[in-house]
Amino acid sequence: MRPTVLLTGATAGIGEDIAVKLSEKYDLVLTGRNTEKLSELQPKLSEGCTSYLLPMDLSNLENVEKTLLQFLQENSLNIHKLVHCAGFMKMIPLKLVNNDFMMECFTTNVFSANLLVKLLVNKKNNNSLLDSVVFISSNISNRGAKAMSTYGASKSALDGLMRNLAVELAPKVRFNSVLPGAVLTKMTQNIFDNEEVMSRMQAQYPLGIGYAKDIADAVNFLLSEDARWITGQQMTVDGGRSINISS
């Protein structure tokens, strides 16, 4: 019997590649806001994968736990692993930041992740079967960037949550984060189509621009038994961007 992974943000560029990779050896519960896009993802999964669709808006905190618990009960499912890929990102200068923007960013990126873990480690709700969690963070969590103060702070908070849960829930559950650099996806294609931006990026990344598959491979490793002695860690996957002092 295959373990089951709950993947949030499955319809995003990185989320889709994670889903396809994990479908090789896991069953999946795919969440996202767009039911049509979730349905379009299913045919791309490996044949041996049983997948379930769970339309869910993580920015609506009041319904997150209720929606997931009801879904698990109706389908007689337990979750063994969680990948929190859902994210809210906008480049907004500090002078334009407001309460609504900050709340949506932190709610989607951090608070919802905390509630999902809370539910899944509850013996009554999930039979204490959760054993590995990966949060998709960002290399901005450690570096910083212009017009990214709120987003960057939310990812720093997500990594802080990861480290604290790694201590609190050890040895039963392992927690780690993957920190992607610039990754080429359908959502970012228009950015990389700009020759000036692409030239600058190529200079900053010793190994060149990354792809969503690179992030999916890292997630797959961290969920697996090959990473059994790894917890509380930030795995930066950015083609060397974070060590390139000339950039």
Asked, for residue 190, whether it belongs to a domain, the answer is no
Asked, for residue 199, whether it belongs to a domain, the answer is no
Asked, for residue 82, whether it belongs to a domain, the answer is yes
- Identify the sign of the CA torsion 221, 223, 228, 232: positive
**Tell me, what's the pLDDT at 91?**
83
- The letter for the amino acid at 120 is L
- The letter for the amino acid at 149 is S
**Tell me, what's the pLDDT at 199?**
79
- Identify the sign of the CA torsion 180, 185, 190, 193: positive
Comparing CA positions, the residue from 64, 65, 81 lying closest to residue 29 is 81
Lookup result for tokens 């590649």: 17
Asked, for residue 198, whether it belongs to a domain, the answer is no
Alpha helices in 205-244 (DSSP H): 212-223
**Tell me, what's the pLDDT at 243?**
87
Q: For each of the chain's 247 residues, which pLDDT tens digit applies?
A: 899 999 999 998 899 999 999 999 999 999 999 999 999 999 999 999 999 999 999 999 999 999 999 999 999 999 999 999 999 888 888 999 999 999 999 999 999 999 999 999 999 999 999 999 999 999 888 887 888 899 999 999 999 999 999 999 999 999 999 999 988 887 677 767 777 777 777 788 899 889 999 999 999 999 999 999 999 999 999 999 888 755 5
Query: H or E stretch including 13?
Result: helix 13-22
Asked, for residue 107, whether it belongs to a domain, the answer is yes
Residues facing residue 240 across a β-bridge: none
Comparing CA positions, the residue from 38, 41, 75, 42 lying closest to residue 56 is 38
Asked, for residue 66, whether it belongs to a domain, the answer is yes
Asked, for residue 176, whether it belongs to a domain, the answer is yes
Q: With contact defined as beta carbons under 8 Å apart, do 108 and 31 qualify?
A: no
The CATH number linked to 41 is: 3.40.50.720
Catalytic member of 26, 52, 151, 205: 151
Which residue spans within 63-131 are E strands per DSSP?
Answer: 81-84
pTM: 0.95
The C-alpha atoms of residue 110 and residue 84 are separated, in whole angstroms, by: 9
> Which residues are CB-neighbours of 154 under 8 A, at least 6 positions away?
88, 105, 106, 109, 110
Q: Which domain holds residue 163?
A: 4-184+212-236
**Tell me, what's the pLDDT at 245?**
59
Check if 151 is active-site: yes
Asked, for residue 106, whether it belongs to a domain, the answer is yes
**Tell me, what's the pLDDT at 191?**
67
Alpha carbon 89 to its chain centroid, in Å, reads 13
Lookup result for tokens 């930030």: 234
Give the total number of structural domains in the chain. 1
Residue 109: DSSP 8-state: I
